[in-house]
Chain A
């Protein structure tokens, strides 16, 4: 027969009905022969009933409103945000869009020299944004490959052990 100490580890699983049949048998055999452990098992059952007496506290009425307000303060993501995974990427794309609009509005007639100069400036800047090497080194894009990585590489998305959610830098 098992010793009291060995049974103690199995006792909780036995009482909450999560022990397998072999463990159940061992514990039952011990309880039938050991009055101390038998009493302990009885007491644990009663104890769990006692612990159930503690009523739940309800969150205060303003709880939901408060968390929603805090979430509303979080950096928002507009329609562009839902197309791309990172807010800063969305910002970069918005800049590109704004630049395109600005270019489209450039005067096509009139002061030819001025227009050419403006076009040159615009295209020069656009070149940077269209340059893949620059884009790929652009800080805002650094997290994008992570999003596309295979699931096993992000198997543990969050490490609450150090209490910080990863890669959420906004």
Chain B
């Protein structure tokens, strides 16, 4: 089968991956699943487990919960196979299920543990949550893991809708139309949402942003 070639896109160790480039034959794969071909389901699983787990991890900030939710997404895709019709991109459908599950999980969690933490999502349009001052004191010796954790926390502190928008735009590299469908908003509203989100991150991650030029020069990366 031709679409087995796309499988190779999964599993590269790099930081970035491009869902947009992987969508070519997803609709066909899903139609094959609908027709009873479970091998095609396994291909979709292999292709999207890492993007989905990462998206969900960045949403819920807990690897165990992220995996549980990713399992649930795949199970729902499987259960809905007979009703599948290729009216929208497969990734739109997939990430819409994932987004709704993540938001529900966050809300359930919020009611369960009412303590306010950095991980707790803040209401849309609320003032951006300020990171504690000590978090902003970053010296050059900060190890890579702390940098990543600092970035993850800043993303996690975004209001839910802004967070979804950034994750889909920055990490899944989806186009505006697709993200707008997932978030059920207009493209114009999405652009405002993205602007506000990146503006907040620019402030929260200012120490890293101002460092980035020096880092790139030191590591010999093109800027």
Interface of A with B (CB < 8 Å)?
A: 8-13, 16, 18, 40, 43-44, 46-60, 63-64, 66-68, 70-71, 74, 77, 81-82, 85-86, 147, 151, 154-158, 160-161, 163, 165-168
Contacts and interface: CB of A to CB of B under 8 A. Distances in A.
| Chain A to chain B: the 6 pairs with minimum beta-carbon distance, closest first | A165-B80, A157-B83, A160-B96, A46-B212, A160-B97, A168-B79
Interface stretch (B21-29, B111-119, B128-136, B200-208): B200-208
A9 B151 contact: no
B45 interface: yes
A158 B83 contact: yes
Given A44-B198, A59-B49, A53 B148 contact: yes
Contact of A55 (B15, B85, B191): B15
Nearest to B170: A51
Interface residues of B, number: 69
Interface string B39-82: 00110011001100110010000010011001100111011101
Contacts of A10: 191
A146 to B, nearest CB: 8
A148 to B, nearest CB: 13
A125 to B, nearest CB: 30
Name the residue among A49, A82, A85, A160 with the largest chain B CB count within 10 angstroms: A160
A55 B17 contact: no
20 contacts: A12-B169, A12-B195, A47-B209, A49-B223, A50-B209, A53-B15, A53-B144, A63-B53, A66-B71, A67-B74, A71-B75, A81-B36, A151-B87, A154-B85, A157-B83, A158-B93, A165-B76, A168-B80, A168-B82, A168-B83
B87 A155 contact: yes
Contacts of B4: none
Interface of B: 14-17, 36, 38, 41-42, 45-46, 49-50, 53-54, 57, 63, 66-67, 70-71, 74-76, 78-80, 82-85, 87-88, 93, 96-97, 99-101, 104, 144, 147-148, 151-152, 155, 166, 169-171, 175-176, 184, 188, 191-192, 194-195, 198-199, 201-202, 205, 208-210, 212-213, 216, 223
A54 B215 CA distance: 15
A74 B63 contact: no
Contact of A47 (B38, B66, B152, B202): B202
Contacts of A54: 15, 148, 151-152
B212 A55 contact: no
A22 B130 CA distance: 37
A46 B213 CA distance: 8
Contact of B83 (A9, A63, A166): A166
A67 B45 contact: yes
Contact of A18 (B78, B175, B202): B175
B107 to A, nearest CB: 12
A59 B46 CA distance: 11
Nearest to A9: B191
Contacts of B83: 154, 157-158, 165-168
